[in-house]
Amino acid sequence: MDAKFFSYVNVIDPLIKRMASRGKGAIVNIIGAGGKVASPTHLAGGSANAALMLATAGLANAYAARGVRVVGLNPGATETERLLEGFSATARLGGVDLAEARRRAEASIPLGRFARPEEVADATVFLASGRASYIRA
């Protein structure tokens, strides 16, 4: 909770109030998929993600009329060092090697691959822009 939930909330709280006082702003929270489906290797992080999803929706509702948009982006598995580190736990739990854990994870994704960090960045920039002015939570 300290790493994933409170770190967001502690930054958002003063900023959203300033944005509301000036009548405009956008906050994009990048939230992990673990908040939607419980995973035995990610229970604590998933719980924090679920809490952040709820806070994002609540803040979006509370501040929309004051000109502040709050959006949650859930990109799913993204090709990062952190994702690759997670395969060791998955491999251990499943009794397979790292390559097989990765292959299984990619096979479970409808697009057949992990997201690239630049794809997540592009979506974030769009959501924070005026072009996404009617998108919230």
| Residue 25 placed within a domain | yes
- Provide the pLDDT confidence category of residue 113 given band limits of 50, 70 and 90: very high
Give residue 119's domain range.
2-76+115-132
- Cβ density class 98-119: b for 16+ within 10 Å, e for less: eeebbeeeeeeeeeeebbeeee
Sign of CA dihedral 63, 67, 69, 70: negative
Which pLDDT tens digit goes with each residue over 4-39?
Answer: 899 999 999 999 999 999 999 999 999 987 787 777
Which pLDDT tens digit goes with each residue over 39-60?
Answer: 776 778 889 999 999 999 999 9
Q: 3-class secondary structure for 63-105?
A: HHHHCEEEEEECCCCECCHHHHHHHHHHHHHHCCCHHHHHHHH
Q: How many structural domains compose the chain?
A: 1
| Residue 8 placed within a domain | yes
Which pLDDT tens digit goes with each residue over 68-88?
Answer: 999 999 998 899 988 888 888
Long-range pairs for 118-122 at CB < 8 Å and ≥24 separation? 119/75, 119/78, 120/30, 120/73, 120/75, 120/78
| Residue 106 placed within a domain | no
Mean pLDDT (the chain) is 92
| Residue 91 placed within a domain | no
